[in-house]
Structure 1
Amino acid sequence: MARTDPQINLRIPADLKDALDAEAAKNKRSLTAEVVARLEASLGPATAAWAKAFPYAAAAATGDDRVIQAAAEKLAHANEIARVRQAVLDLKTQLVSLDSQAMQAHHELRRLHKEIDDFDRKKDVAATTDLLKQRVELERHLRAIDSQHKQVRLALRDAERLEASLAGRS
C-alpha cells in the first residue's frame, strides 16, 4: 500500500475489529493489509497490475460476455500457436533423427564397399555376393530415409507457414 492510496474512515463493532487484529497478527500483516486482503478475496483484485498479469481472469471478472468471448478467442489463438510451434519442433527433431540415420547408413555403405573390394580382389565369390545383398538392402533403406526426409521437410514447411500466419494474426 502506498501512502497515496485513498483512505476511508470506517466504523465497525469492537469484536469484529478485535477479530481482524488477531487475524492480521496471525498472518503477520498490518490491520490495513488484512482488511485489503479480505476485501480483495471477496471482491476480486481490482488493480491494473492484476488485470495485466491475468488478462483472461480479469475478463471473466468483468461479467461482460463480449469481453469474455474476446479473451477466450485470444486464449484459443495462443493455444493454437503453441500447438503449431510444438509441431514445428517435433518435425525438426524428426529431421535431425533422419539425418543421423542417413549418416550412419552412408558410413555403413562405405564400409561395405571397401569389404566388397577386398573380397572381390581375393576372388571370394560367396562373401562378395553376401556383401552385395547387404549393400542392396542398405541402399533401399537409404532411399526410404530420403523419402521420409522429403515428407518431413514438406510438413515442416507447411507448419512454419501456418506458424507465421498465426503469429501475424496475433
Structure 2
Amino acid sequence: MEKHLEECTTKMQKSIDNLVKEFSRLRTGRASTALVDHIKVEYYGTPTPLAQVASVSIPDSRTIAISPWDRNAFAAIEKAIMKSDLGLTPVNDGRTIRISIPPLTEERRKDLVKMAKKYTEEAKVAIRNVRRDINESLKKKKNAKEMSEDDFHKAQEDVQKITDDFIHKADAALAAKEKEIMEI
C-alpha cells in the first residue's frame, strides 16, 4: 500500500512540476530567462538549445541579453527568436542580442490568464488520471485477495487526500501566476 501512495505522490508531483514549467514560459510584464529556454537555434545544421550556444542574462526587469559564444551564431539566434511564439523582436548590436519586453496590454494579460487556466486544468486532469490508475491497481489487489476490504477503503481515502492536496497546489500555483500576470 505504501508503494502505491509513494507512486501516486511522485506522479502527481511531476504534474505540478510540469505546470510550473509551463507557467515559466508564459510571458509576464518582466523579463525571465525561462522565456527563451525552449528556443532551438539552427547551429551548424543542428537544432541546438539557445543556452548551449549563448549566455542568457537579465540586465534589467524588461530586457533579456543574449551573448553568443560564436560570432557566426548571431543570425541563427535572431532567426530562431523571430520564429518563436514569443512575438518579440531581437536587436543586435554586434556583441549582444537584446530583447525588450514591452508592457502587456489588458487584453494580452487576459489571454495569458486563460492560457494559465488551461495549463492548470490539464495538470488537474493528469492528477485525476493518476488517482484513477492507482485506484484501479488497488482494486485489482483487493479482487485478487492481496488486500483486505478495510485496507482498500483506507488506501482509497489516502489517495483521495493526496489528490485533493495536489489539486490545491495546482490552484495555488494558478492564483500566484494570475496575480503575477495581472500586476502592472
Scaled to the shorter chain, the TM-score interval is: 0.3 to 0.5
What is the TM-score with the length of structure 2 in the denominator?
0.32
Identify the structure with the greater helix proportion. 1
Identify the structure with the greater strand proportion. 2
Larger gyration radius, structure 1 or structure 2: 1
Structure with the bigger RCO (C-alpha within 8 Å, sep 6+) is: 2
